[in-house]
Structure 1
């Protein structure tokens, strides 16, 4: 039997405020606005829908900052076909009802292509608007397969492995660890509701014995964790957008439910600002779905660049790498199309990109697109299961199981 309840809604004092400040600081303000660098000529306008204040801000601002850096790097090296990339930005707050107006506004500012850095529910709403605008778009950190599936998928693309791939990897992990009964602790955001529908539906390898839900701004999850404990699962999976909810969830699980394996999504692994807000040792042993592999030479190069720009203590995440790759893919497509002004040619050029060596995933991981393949990931090599150590930082791949990678 699956149980689902809504928890308390009070603001997690101090914790949420700190995370909100971190998220705001991570986003690109006027000081981060890319210049034309050494490029000249008419600018090529790229529109970005960035959730910098809504429920997706905890990850969108990380990606948004690196998107700006990637644009600046390209412009400093002469631009695209000698022309600078010019970034225009709007914010839909991951609110599906705001998406059409936001995309219309970006189009009205002259955008030739779009980067959709928002929640999956909002991006789903964008699909029909893209068809109307006839503008190609990339969702840099999207992971929900339906984002690039029909209908209205002709102009939208994703890079990373989807939740269907995640389910396959989680099932491999559960089998290796002899886990047959799973408890789920989830937040109440629309983004996670859409993700859960896809991910949990693919976990036929286990029985979900309890599902507990808490408000994204909850201040206490003790009751939910107590009910999970009473259901006696072999392991717990936390599904959230990260931020204060994830920290509260892991603190509570570590205190009330120690000794049971804990799994999470990519969110916590890609939000270094959250790690230091967790209680000492609360993340120890937590296993999350990662995409950063330090042996990938493109990851090494990007890490070097980001540390030069952001400081030696900067923790590179999959959001950074996927943001970087998204801008590079647009650059390649514009070059292949001979310019940005014909949206049909630009869309066809994206579909002509094959074997792109990504800055995330294992060393031989590539991205390829076609008219019928709008998800770039070529196989499971874009994923790794990563374990947190005693210091609340990722310590490396989980030794019990890793997804197979060939090529």
Structure 2
């Protein structure tokens, strides 16, 4: 009897192990020793500075976690596909990640139109989309249990910035210059809604194509309207050019305010200091090595040693978003499933990244981590914080 009992116990243990293995294998992108994460981003196109650095920093956080044993014994593996900041390539890349690589989740994917094109099939396949590198409202609206956006939207940022500029700088004649794209429409909507909330008119608007290089007509139009503040729906190059054009034309009594898409050191460090005095909102804080706190300086040095390049804002976003993914996976427990991961993410309350970004919280009915952002101004080739964190509701 004793021998039978021993054999039975061993068999039961074997069945338990087998059941555990089957369970792990039944969850896409999850095995007993690995979790597969996907990312489609720009590695060789117009936004490669974001894509390369954000994916680098995500790998850096993953390497740290894996060196410490992984998450509940599972190592993380990141598969990055180059979308070249083009919608067709993003769709192709996402199809590979979802259908061939069988990823568990998508994280840090770059671009509003790229995410919008990919999301319907991605969500249908049951693949969460976490902290895409776009601040478009579509990344958390309408509500979907698989959509998590980490920061304040472009809309949130611009409304908060306009409110602050009116209250603190006495601005009275607000205008908007924005890209004739879905991204630019976010800025226009924010300008319309915030001026309405403050019982002010939106004095004038002008638009541009992303590839425009001559802004003389737009600046002449806005100057003729007497604007004293321009809500800028720009990214990098088209943040620099219109501002520089206005100053070159001698229009110095107007301020421009951008949002996180123009919070890039390329803007602050533009040749000839042509962006001096440019205001912008941003969802986090870019540290400078010579003024950074010791822990941040050490992190920046590790990044440079690992990738032989300086940190940029993409790296800040990449590291912070992967840190949140790790927390969600850890809280999901060893028996990782889609549902347990979602519950793990929803349990994150009061998170703050190592860079001093805003407090982030999720919940069963909350998919936007925060609506708070920071206001910066360019001084001596750097972004200097003016206020924050702020939002338009407070």
TM band (smaller chain): 0.7 to 0.9
Give, in angstroms, the shift of residue 141 of structure 1.
3.3
Q: Determine the C-alpha separation between the residues in 1 that align with 2:62 and 2:134.
A: 20
What CA RMSD, in Å, does the superposition of the two structures yield over aligned residues?
3.1
1:387 maps to 2:383: no
Q: Determine the C-alpha separation between the residues in 2 that align with 1:300 and 1:181.
A: 43
Please give the TM-score of this superposition, normalised by the length of structure 2.
Answer: 0.78
285 and 63 in structure 1: CA distance in 2 versus 1, 3 angstrom threshold: same
250 and 77 in structure 1: CA distance in 2 versus 1, 3 angstrom threshold: farther
53 and 253 in structure 1: CA distance in 2 versus 1, 3 angstrom threshold: farther
**Paired residue secondary structure (2:171):** coil
1:403 maps to 2:387: no
State which structure, 1 or 2, has the greater radius of gyration over its C-alpha atoms: 2
Q: Determine the C-alpha separation between the residues in 2 that align with 1:129 and 1:303.
A: 41
Deviation digits for residues 5-64 of structure 1 (CA, Å, limit 9, x no counterpart): xxxxxxxxxxxxxxxxxxxxxxxxxxxxxxxxxxx9733211011133455445333322
From 67, 71, 77, the counterpart of 1:86: 77
Q: Determine the C-alpha separation between the residues in 2 that align with 1:340 and 1:129.
A: 26
Deviation digits for residues 216-240 of structure 1 (CA, Å, limit 9, x no counterpart): 2222212221222111101222211
Look up the match of 2:338: 343
Unaligned runs of 5+ in 1: 1-39
Look up the match of 2:52: 61
Where do residues 310-325 of structure 1 align in structure 2 (5 Å cutoff)? 310=304, 314=310, 316-317=312-313, 319-325=314-320
62 and 181 in structure 1: CA distance in 2 versus 1, 3 angstrom threshold: farther
Runs of 4+ deviating beyond 6 Å? none
CA contact (8 A) 2:175 2:202 kept: yes
Give, in angstroms, the shift of residue 293 of structure 1.
7.3
Q: Determine the C-alpha separation between the residues in 1 that align with 2:78 and 2:110.
A: 16
From 117, 120, 128, the counterpart of 1:128: 120
Look up the match of 1:241: 235
Deviation digits for residues 104-148 of structure 1 (CA, Å, limit 9, x no counterpart): 311221311111422223323333223211111212433223321
212 and 59 in structure 1: CA distance in 2 versus 1, 3 angstrom threshold: farther
**Paired residue secondary structure (1:320):** helix
Q: Determine the C-alpha separation between the residues in 2 that align with 1:54 and 1:141.
A: 15
Deviation digits for residues 159-201 of structure 1 (CA, Å, limit 9, x no counterpart): 11223432134212223211121222223444333x2254234
**Paired residue secondary structure (1:183):** strand
From 43, 51, 69, the counterpart of 2:34: 43
Q: Determine the C-alpha separation between the residues in 2 that align with 1:300 and 1:169.
A: 30
CA contact (8 A) 2:287 2:355 kept: no
**Paired residue secondary structure (1:309):** helix
Look up the match of 2:328: 333
Look up the match of 1:147: 139
Q: Determine the C-alpha separation between the residues in 1 that align with 2:376 and 2:137.
A: 22
CA contact (8 A) 2:178 2:188 kept: no
From 362, 366, 388, the counterpart of 1:373: 366
Look up the match of 2:16: none
**Paired residue secondary structure (1:267):** helix
CA contact (8 A) 1:239 1:265 kept: yes
Look up the match of 1:25: none
Unaligned runs of 5+ in 2: 1-30
Look up the match of 2:6: none
Q: Determine the C-alpha separation between the residues in 1 that align with 2:41 and 2:335.
A: 21
How many equivalent pairs are there? 350
CA contact (8 A) 2:176 2:188 kept: no
